[in-house]
Amino acid sequence: MSLAEPIRLLLFLAGILGFVALNAAYLVWVERKGAGRFQRRPGPTEVGYAGLLQPLADGLKLLSKQLIVPPGADGVLFRLAPLMVMAPAMMCLAVIPFSETLVARDLNVGLVMVFAFGSINVLALLLGGWASRNKYAIISAARVVSQDVAYEIPMLLAVITVMMVTGTLNLGEIVQQQEGGCWRWNLFRLEANPLMPVTFLIFYICMLAETNRAPFDMAEAESELVAGAFTEYAGMGFGVFFMAEYANIAVGCCLAAVLFLGGWQSPIGVFPGLFWFLLKVYLLVFSVIWVRWTFPRTQFYGLLNLSWKILIPLSLFTLVLTSAAMKVW
């Protein structure tokens, strides 16, 4: 292996770290300003112009606080859980194609890698809650496992539907097959699946559940479980969980843009591919924030019924419909 390859990987690692840090810092600001606007209040205004320096102030505050391990907790697992919840999101970003040339690792099984590392997220939340030796955290961790198991099934069925249409697990190839205008995006490939917009909606709902966003934020559930799996965490231990949440939102929206919205493909033929990719991703991120501050948290049994009784049968139907359409065409 030449010397250029390790240097390239180090540069991509530094870029991913910077992207995750800035993404977490300023999506918090966007969320707080958005929540203020939705609820007719100003949001952050005091630290910097329009509160733009508020994320830096919050970061310094969290860094100045001590990470206290509760008596009786498993100290190793308690400290390890925040790192375990952050690492998978960074690994997933390594295979996301931001443009035709901007990708850390162009793997033929990139889609499998995203889901393989994404499944570690629930294990980290489970370890964080269990290691805390706090009944509220343990109850929340158990609910998170039930939620993730329930919503991974329809999400995988939706992704398999797209995979059947494209015939590949390479994320870059999936984007390249959507070249030729927005009517070529998988979202509008109605000849392969007349219900492809429904498949996208299933994927979007499952993404909200998998990233523990309202109305599916059972990992936190502060109204009934204090702060859920994060109850015993302080300082940057608490902060890393929320950095990971925003990193996972970015990964989910990147995956939605790649699978359904053409990735870096331009609908009008102007501006570079990176611009279009980030525009699609952050429009999806804004919709995630909009949903959070519009809908109240659902009840846990209603959340599970939505997956097992509605989304799974519907995603199975769209999968069978796609296989029949592919056979005909």
Q: Report the 10 Å Cβ neighbour count for 40.
A: 6
Question: Are 138 and 122 a contacting pair, CB within 8 Å?
Answer: no
Average of per-residue pLDDT values in the chain: 87
Q: Name the DSSP letter for residue 310.
A: I
Long-range interactions of 268-272: CB distance < 8 A, separation 24+: 272/99
CA quadruple 257, 261, 263, 267: dihedral positive or negative? Answer: negative
Q: Quick one: pLDDT at residue 201? A: 96
Lowest mean pLDDT: which of 74-83, 175-184, 213-222, 258-267? 213-222
Structure tokens at 124: 């980290």
Domain residue ranges of the chain, discontinuous segments joined by +:
73-328
Question: Are 96 and 254 a contacting pair, CB within 8 Å?
Answer: yes
**Tens digits of residue pLDDT in 47-90:** 888 889 998 898 888 888 888 888 888 888 888 888 888 888 88
Please give the Cα distance from 277 to 146 (Å, whole number): 33
Q: For the chain, first and last CA: distance in Å?
A: 45
DSSP character string of 15-37? HHHHHHHHHHHHHHHHHHHHHHH
Question: Are 240 and 83 a contacting pair, CB within 8 Å?
Answer: yes
Please give the Cα distance from 81 to 266 (Å, whole number): 40
Q: Quick one: pLDDT at residue 222? A: 59
> What type of residue sits at position 58?
D
Contacts of 214 (CB under 8 A, 6+ apart): 291, 292, 293, 295, 296, 297
**Tens digits of residue pLDDT in 2-35:** 557 777 778 887 888 888 888 888 898 999 998 8
